A and B are shown apart, each in its own frame.
Chain A
Amino acid sequence: MKSSLLSLTLLITIASFAQPMYMTRNGQISFYSKTPMENIDAVNNEVTAMINSSTGELAFAVLIKSFRFERALMEEHFNENYMESDKFPKATFSGKITNPGNVNFNTNGNYPVSVEGELTIHGVKKSITSTGTINISGSKVTTLSTFLVRLADYNISIPALVADKISETVEVKVNCEYQPKK
């Protein structure tokens, strides 16, 4: 009994060494809206993200209020009028790599991946798919992905008065550098 317990503990220890979780609290998500009238971009450096290298599951979470715009007034409108960030303070993605066999977390390199999962913005949850790359460099893992978000899909309405300044579809870029979780 005692030896089986010991081997179980050993197994769990080995498993957790062989299949680490990677985490970051300093991930970056930015978005870009382009119209002939005005280009708008905003950056968020406070993204928490995790990857489970054994299952290919991954999750991102971001606070709407910490997107930084060039102009304070735009930031205010984004929070108060479009994203209603008091009511919906965060956006999340949770999903998995659909081709996890393509990524070798123990060998340095650039691996193209496909990802599917659920994106929640403005309180609306939608299934999405995207492509990206995972870069392995020693113990550091970097994920990069760019995808499009249609504002109407997430019930984000743009008043007619500023409709020609804000694109109906914005480009979202995710760039996260992870370390093995302590």
Chain B
Amino acid sequence: MKPGILWTILAALVMVSAIAFWLYNKPHRTAEQRPFVSLSATELFKAFESDEISANENYLDKIIEVHGEVDEVTIDMDKNTVVIFKSDDPIFGIRCTLEANNTHIKPGDTIHLKGICKGFLSDVVLTDCIYLKH
């Protein structure tokens, strides 16, 4: 076999293993990128409440910026901050998971967040949310 072919095979092998290694260790998605859409909490809730299937088609896995009045702030079992935005519904709204260091957010505040849309339970759920200073 010519040495040139050997080198080509070796280089291909190195490339394939590098790609495999990168894929295996690739980082989790964040909401750092530009949001796909910016909506009020009421608008986003209404989209899911009125037609969940088409809202899933439009928003699932997308980064969404949402703004509105904070109804409730709690802490989940992994100590992340959880913010619920008010909507037209008396109980449910937009449920957003943020990192633990967001304790400055208080009920009654009007704020902007962006996060990854995971779907609709009784609330619309956004995770990996980032607090936006506006």
Q: Which residues of A contact B (CB under 8 A)?
A: 25-26, 28, 43, 45-46, 48, 61-63, 65-66, 68, 71-73, 75, 86, 89-90, 175, 177, 181-182
Range for the number of chain B residues in contact with chain A? 20 to 34
Query: B61 at the A/B interface (Cβ < 8 Å)?
Result: yes
Contact A63–B121 (Cβ < 8 Å): yes
Q: Which residues in window 59-106 of B have CB below 8 A to A?
A: 60-61, 74-78, 80, 82, 84, 91, 95, 97
Contact A73–B127 (Cβ < 8 Å): no
Contact B121–A61 (Cβ < 8 Å): yes
Query: B134 at the A/B interface (Cβ < 8 Å)?
Result: no
Cα–Cα, bound, A48→B123 (Å) = 9
B61's nearest neighbour on chain A, judged by CB, is A65
Q: Which residues of B contact A (CB under 8 A)?
A: 23-29, 56, 60-61, 74-78, 80, 82, 84, 91, 95, 97, 118-123, 125, 127
Cα–Cα, bound, A61→B92 (Å) = 14
Contact A63–B118 (Cβ < 8 Å): yes
Beyond A26-B75, A61-B122, A63-B125, 8 additional pairs, beta carbon < 8 A: A26-B76, A28-B77, A43-B78, A45-B80, A48-B121, A62-B121, A63-B121, A71-B24
Which residue, B24, B26, B127, has most C-beta atoms of chain A within 10 A? Answer: B127
A87's nearest neighbour on chain B, judged by CB, is B56
Contact A46–B24 (Cβ < 8 Å): no
7 A-B contact pairs sorted by A residue (CB < 8 Å): A25-B121, A25-B122, A25-B123, A26-B82, A61-B122, A73-B26, A175-B77
